[in-house]
Structures are given as C-alpha cells and as structure tokens.
Amino acid sequence: MGRMAGRGRTTLLAAAAAVVALGLAACNGQSAAPGGQAGGEQPYVAIVSKGFQHQFWQAVKSGAEEQATKEGVRITFEGPDTETNVAQQVDQLNAAMANNPQALAVAALDSQAAAPLLQQAQDRKIPVVAFDSGVDSEIPVSTVATDNSAAAAAAAENMAGLIGGKGKVAVIAHDQTSTSGRDRRDGFVEWMKQNAPDVEIVDIQYGGGDQLKSTDLAKAIISANPDLKGIYGTNEGSAIGVVNAVKETGVSGLTVVGFDSGKAQTDAIRSGVMAGAVTQNPVGIGQKTVEIAAKAIRGEAVEPFVDTGFYWYDKNNIDDPEIAANLYE
C-alpha cells in the first residue's frame, strides 16, 4: 500500500527582507519580467529547476503555473538541458538574478556551485526558496521537497521484501552533488545496513539522470554480477535506464525498483519489468514552491521545510485514486 510521508517541523520565519526587496524594486523601477522586458504590476518569481527534459519537471512546471495564477504572480521556469550540466544551471541562475526577481526558487544541481548566487540573492534581500532538492545553506527561507531519505528507505524496504531479504543489489543514482541525489542513495543504503544484513550492495554508479548513460551503467553491472538480485534507480532517468538495460540484456529474475513515475516507468510496472517505485508529488512541489515564494514576497511567515510527501506504488495499487493522482505522463 502506498503511504504518505509527513514531517512536522514548523517554525515561523519572518520574511521582512522580502518587503524591503519589493520596496527597493519599486523605487528603482526594476522590471519584473525576464529578459529586461517592461515589468507589470505582478511580482516576478524566477524558477530554475534541475532539468527540463523529464516528465517530472514538466509536472512541476504545470503545478507552478497553476499556483502562479492563484497567487497573482508572474513566473519563469527553466532548467538545464541535462541534470549534469551544472555550468548551464549557474548561467541560468545568473540570468534570473539579472532580471531582478522578487523571489528566486532553485533546485540546485550542485549546492557548492550555486552558493555564490544564493549569497548574492541574500545580499540583495531576495528571498530564496529551494525546491525538490535542498541546498547546503541557511539562505533559503524554505525548502519544498519530498523527504528523500524516508522515500529511499521505503524503496529499500520493498526491495528487501521482494528478494527475500538476501542477495546482491546495485544502485544507479542520478548524482552525488545534489542533496536529493545523496539522500536517495544514503536513505536506501542505510536502511539496508540497519534492517537487511544479508543484502549486499555490490555497486553504486552515477548516471547523471541520463537514460542512455544509466542504461550502459546498468548493463555493465548486470554483466559483472550474474547473481545480481536487484537494481534501484534513484530518479526517472536512472530508473528508465535500468529498465532499458533489463530489456536489452534479456536478463530474468532481476528485481527493479525506482523513483518517480513517468509513462515509461508506469508501463514497465504494468508489464512487470519494474516491480515498483516511489512517486513524489511533482505538481504539488510546483504549487507549494510558488505559494511559499509568494508568501515570502508578501512578508508572511513561511515554514522552513514543506514535505510534499511520497507513495510506494506497484501493479497492485497503480490504479488506486490516491496513487493515480500523483502519476504523470
């Protein structure tokens, strides 16, 4: 059965700095529109995601646009061509800051690389909202994300159950620089260490969320470990890569679990190639990100962490209404 995660940390933060930023913007006649276009009355929220190519990010964008209409704010939503292109994301953050946003939302590919831009935002009194993946910084007024450690633990628990609590497994992670990448890897590994001592993690590789690279990595792991029992893919691109590797090698009896829920994954679960996966709430992530950014702009208190929840789903519950509402194509 799927379950919804929750984390109850709720601490109010004053966002008076945002009010100052708005006042300064108004006094300076700053444009709220991207690209230096003439600004309107609506506050401008610049959103820079980790990518744009996966269905997951399109679902986040959809939620952000929906909430922007409700909040009366204007947004831009962009991300790099690949989830390994840190330099392109830094360029996009620089461009976003140059357009004088009233709030900045970022899903950082690399916390260290993004740090100077976050500091620049703080210096200019622009509230920052981290989403999907937190950052190693105290600058964001709030982080909107899945509790990735808990979600990865759920993937590990299901994997262990599916392989009978023993055997070799491997991990195809999307990266080791973002907090989501690290939490989804470590949450899985730590649960196995603490709860399934007879499960051996034989390899952890990083495919950058790229399907083709993840496919090649998974094929190499399968070839090197003929007695492998399972593989876990930590995001949409990683999981699809593992599914493709299983299809291309023709291996049987390998248990595949993953993260996210694009059409390729739901098809794989329906066909039995993938046993199950964790789905986040990408539309909700987009909605909450814009909601929090709008609150910060208005000077309202915001929660430091907004847990948007997750579900475990498989062929038995994929069509349940509460699960279906969080799947996307």
Categorize the per-residue pLDDT at 19 as very low, low, confident or very high, splitting at 50, 70 and 90.
very low
Burial letters for 67-84: b for 16+ Cβ neighbours within 10 Å, e otherwise?
bbeebebbbbbbbbebbb
Per-residue pLDDT of 214-233, as tens digits, reads 999 999 999 999 999 999 99
Categorize the per-residue pLDDT at 325 as very low, low, confident or very high, splitting at 50, 70 and 90.
confident
Tokens 């990683």 belong to residue? 238
Per-residue pLDDT of 183-199, as tens digits, reads 999 999 999 999 999 99
User: Is the confidence at residue 37, as pLDDT, over 60?
Assistant: no
For residues 52 and 236, the answer to whether their CB atoms sit within 8 Å is: no
Cut 0.85: pTM above it: no
Categorize the per-residue pLDDT at 129 as very low, low, confident or very high, splitting at 50, 70 and 90.
very high
Q: What is the mean pLDDT of the chain?
A: 88
Categorize the per-residue pLDDT at 131 as very low, low, confident or very high, splitting at 50, 70 and 90.
very high
Per-residue pLDDT of 68-91, as tens digits, reads 999 999 999 999 998 889 999 999
Q: Which residue has the higher pLDDT, 322 or 311?
A: 311
Report the helix count and the strand count for the chain, using DSSP H and E: 11, 12
Burial of residue 24, with CB atoms counted within 10 A of its CB: 0-12 exposed, 13-18 middle, 19 or more buried: middle
Q: Hey, what domains does the chain have and what are their CATH numbers?
A: 44-146+282-308 (3.40.50.2300), 148-280 (3.40.50.2300)
